[in-house]
Structure 1
Amino acid sequence: MCGRYAATKDPATLAAEFDALDATEDHAPAVDYNVAPTKSVVAVVARHPRDDDGEPDPDRTVRSLRVMRWGLIPAWAKDMSVGARMINARSEKAATTPAFRTSVAKRRCLVPADGWYEWKRDGKAKQPFFMTGPDGHSLAMAGLWTVWRDPAKGDDAPPVVSVAVLTTEAIGQLGDIHDRMPKLLTPDRWASWLDPDADDVTELLETPPSLELVESLELRPVSTRVNNVRNNGPELLERDEEKADLTLFDER
């Protein structure tokens, strides 16, 4: 967890929802019902704007949408393949893990999602569920980002901005499907999490997601078509009526 999610809103909608500027330019990823690791995704960041000389303005902070590669590539990595193994960061250990600790202190973000997929074992099979909010608003997954340049190409290497989704112990009804869940942040915690000047976010890392938010989520059984990353379309989000009566507590 979290290894797959859906992101179908255009940048203009996300910018309004997260009170952010759209800085995706022409690089915004297309509507994606089956976002998988290493794909381009949209994240929300807050940074001090820089002047023409590259100096940051300490008195102003701008929240914006940026395009990133899902799977954090540490600055010290020899190649970008390591990112495929770093799509998630455990919130309990991120601050002390070499790959993530600098990002915890300096580069935090939000990853908007319509919802995410998780699989519950049902006998020998695994039944996919789509976890989504009740009101159509995006879920805000806490994330960490960083910038990597290919050392083989030297100082002229183009920057690759990548991101990992923070996870935490599943609470409430989500624990019936999987023991982990993305660290979901409610709007009242967005500013604190994104604050570029807050280098100690221990309390934010340790605070569990809102139980009220988790209990409001719809846990929707969906088709196993989502298992194949090549499948992508609105049908992936449709409720699987054959599994509509699936009992989450059934451990057949």
Structure 2
Amino acid sequence: MCGRYSVVTKKIAKDHRQAGRFGDILNDPNYNAAPSQPLPVITNTNPEKGAFLSWGLLRAWATTAKTNRPINARAETLTQSPMFRNLIGRKRCLVLADGFYEWKKIIQALNTLFDLPQSPGKGKIIRQPYRFTLQNEDLFSFAGLWDEWVDKSTGEVLKTFTIITTEANKLVKEVHERMPVILTPEAEELWLNNDEPVNDLLDLLQPYDADQMKAYPVSDLINSPVNNSPEVINSL
């Protein structure tokens, strides 16, 4: 899954097709993007302008805003899920990012009485966060779905999104079995194209090339969404 990510850099690859669409939405760095926050995306219905949508999908037919809001959608089951199957053809978005976080379970050995050998598998389990970025640290985008919900009592419109995940590539798999779908610049154009067949869109939802990525451990400051400072992304 993808439960935290960052959108800090303004560095945009020379061949990045979306360069002119980011505008001012990247002015404020977010080192610790978390569910429910308003975050920068580009939708297929307004591809020339970025917008801020809340992370955690709230479907239009939901009776209350307090219902479950999934932050991720599995690529393998999009067309079978009542939650997502009608959105793949109508409401897609690019979720802007420059890195994401996953946590690796590590067994930390404990001191034993008289320093006797510890039994195999025994110890304190810790979750070490890692940050994944592109090798060149450029800005990129996740494949996402979005929707809008109207509060019938107030008329307020809430626009939300979810990030599509797929099986992990060989780099991410060292830490977690799944990863967010990262789109190449060419795939971004197709993802926003309203004339693209659904089956062709589904073919885009593949693990990103591991050789084009890197990873490093970061502080557990990332564990709390209130921590949004440069120290969050510093390597240990």
TM over 0.5: yes
Structure 1, gaps ≥5 residues long: 49-61, 241-252
Q: Deviations over 1:41-91 (max 9, x none)?
A: 01112337xxxxxxxxxxxxx5321111101100011222235x3111111
Shift of 1:150: 1.2
Normalising by structure 2, what TM-score?
0.83
In the alignment, what sits opposite 1:231?
227
- Equivalences for residues 111-130 of structure 1 within 5 A: 111-123=95-107, 124-130=125-131
In the alignment, what sits opposite 1:204?
201
Does structure 1 conserve the Cα–Cα contact (< 8 Å) formed by 2:183 and 2:204? no
Q: Deviations over 1:178-218 (max 9, x none)?
A: 111001111111111111233x3223324453653x22211
Q: Which has the higher contact order (CA 8 A, sep 6+)?
A: 2
Does structure 1 conserve the Cα–Cα contact (< 8 Å) formed by 2:179 and 2:207? no
AA of the residue aligned to 1:205: L
AA of the residue aligned to 2:126: A
AA of the residue aligned to 1:202: N
Q: Distance in 2 between matches of 1:159 and 1:187?
A: 31
Does structure 2 conserve the Cα–Cα contact (< 8 Å) formed by 1:29 and 1:42? no
Shift of 1:40: 0.3
Does structure 2 conserve the Cα–Cα contact (< 8 Å) formed by 1:78 and 1:151? no
- Equivalences for residues 77-156 of structure 1 within 5 A: 77-82=62-67, 85-123=69-107, 124-153=125-154
1:211 and 1:65, CA in 2 relative to 1: closer, same or farther beyond 3 A? closer
1:215 and 1:21, CA in 2 relative to 1: closer, same or farther beyond 3 A? closer
Q: Distance in 1 between matches of 2:176 and 2:26?
A: 31
1:100 and 1:218, CA in 2 relative to 1: closer, same or farther beyond 3 A? same
AA of the residue aligned to 2:232: L
Equivalenced residue count is 217
SS at match of 1:197: coil
Structure 2, gaps ≥5 residues long: 108-124
Shift of 1:158: 2.3
In the alignment, what sits opposite 1:219?
215
SS at match of 1:188: helix
- The structure with the largest helix share of the pair is 1
SS at match of 1:105: coil
AA of the residue aligned to 1:227: N
AA of the residue aligned to 2:87: S
Shift of 1:173: 1.5
Does structure 2 conserve the Cα–Cα contact (< 8 Å) formed by 1:6 and 1:32? yes
The answer on 1:174 being equivalent to 2:172 is yes
Cα-Cα RMSD: 2.4
